Amino acid sequence: MGKADFLSPKAIGNRIKSKGLQKLRWYCQMCQKQCRDENGFKCHCMSESHQRQLLLASENPQQIMDSFSDEFRTEFLELLKRRFGTKRVHNNIVYNEYIGHREHVHMNATQWETLTDFTKWLGREGYCKVDETPKGWYIQYIDRDPETIRKQQEQEKKKKQDLDDEERTSKFIEDQVKKGLEGVEQNTPTFTELSRQNEEEKVAFNLNKGAGTSGTTASSSHASNALKSAAVMGSVKRKDTSQGQAKEKKKKSALDEIMEMEEQKKKTERTDYWLQPDIVVKIVTKRLGEKYYKKKAVVKEVIDRYTAIVKLVDSGDKLKLDQSHLETIIPAPGKRVLVLNGGYKGHFGILDGIIEKRFSATIEIDSGPLKGRKVEGIPYEDISKVA
């Protein structure tokens, strides 16, 4: 019986049936051929091509098994790194995604009999961190790429620097409070109880004209003492008032200094993530091949701050990439940009000029409460073209 035509109903039906996954027991890994039923698999095993492959495999079976094992391990780890990065994930989830590809290498052709054995092997060889839970085995990819390690070290250094800035600010605040308390203790007046030198002496005022000289002298002396005490108390009150005003002024100046420091810190505040939707970026990784290297794309969605779904400008293909595989794009002067990092993060502006020696740019903010403000010295990596 002749072969069905390409557009005949039978040929179309055969192509529809061939799509998707078939039963594993009817797959021949040596010939990489998938059969649809038991009869087809039996006919394949009796064919001359299959017998020839078996003869080749019998000459060095260990080498063929090692090649299948290496291919399985490479593709599995590549999927784990590309799809999940360094996140902790259940091993069965990764395996289900891996076998979803129709041309994958089956595990029964490798040196591992079960997925658990393969997971334990990954942990022993140092490819992944593995741990067993009541829900099963979890794996976490260990990325040893020098570029990734360098970026992680930069992020840790930035976090440590931010922590040092916070400690420095808190220490400054403590010093200011301590200085204020010391000033209050030094300027606090001490009050003593009024006491008479001679308890038996009486204060008497003689208002009569014919009063004796001795009574007048005693009354005048006591009156002068009372006036002196009143003058001293008045001077103490004025001194307390002036000291209170000085203290209030000192507190206000310290508070102003703290506010200025916080404002300056806010202006220089940076984060280790910069992806934003609707910006134009460039793909800088070569792992996807020359087809996507140095191609422009638009960020459509941001996932977990560090991952983006991008759409290529030329072909329209959609890819899921980490921010380390992307780079910002500086447009021509007069084009609209978005600030991605620093104190003006989230503001749209117009590119006014480029300072090539400093690798920075000048923009004019065109929206929000800061509209019309010109900002100089923004690094290239902190701005990108708006789609």
Query: What pLDDT was estimated at residue 286?
Result: 86
pLDDT, averaged per 10 consecutive residues of the chain (387 residues), comes to: 70 68 68 76 83 76 83 90 89 88 78 90 91 92 80 78 77 82 64 59 56 45 53 54 52 64 62 90 88 91 90 89 91 92 88 88 87 87 91
Quote the crossing angle between the two packed helices 48-59 and 61-84, to the nearest 10°.
100
Query: What pLDDT was estimated at residue 215?
Result: 44
Query: What pLDDT was estimated at residue 218?
Result: 45
The answer to pTM > 0.85 is no
Query: What pLDDT was estimated at residue 217?
Result: 46
Query: What pLDDT was estimated at residue 29?
Result: 74
Q: Is 312:280 a contact under the CB 8 Å cutoff?
A: no
d(CA 165, CA 298) in angstroms, rounded, equals 36
Residue with tokens 């590119």, as numbered in its chain: 351
Instruction: Tell me the two tokens of residue 82.
Output: 């590309």
Query: What pLDDT was estimated at residue 304?
Result: 86
Q: Quick one: the chain helix, strand, coil %, rounded to 5? A: 45, 20, 35
How many other CB atoms are found less than 10 A from the CB of residue 363? 25
Query: What pLDDT was estimated at residue 363?
Result: 92
Query: What pLDDT was estimated at residue 299?
Result: 94
Structural domains of the chain in order of their starting residue, each with its CATH number: 60-141 (1.10.10.2030), 273-329 (2.30.30.140), 330-387 (2.30.30.30)
Q: What are phi and psi of 367, to 5 degrees?
A: -155, 160
- Give the closest residue to 366 by CA, choosing from 377, 352, 380: 352
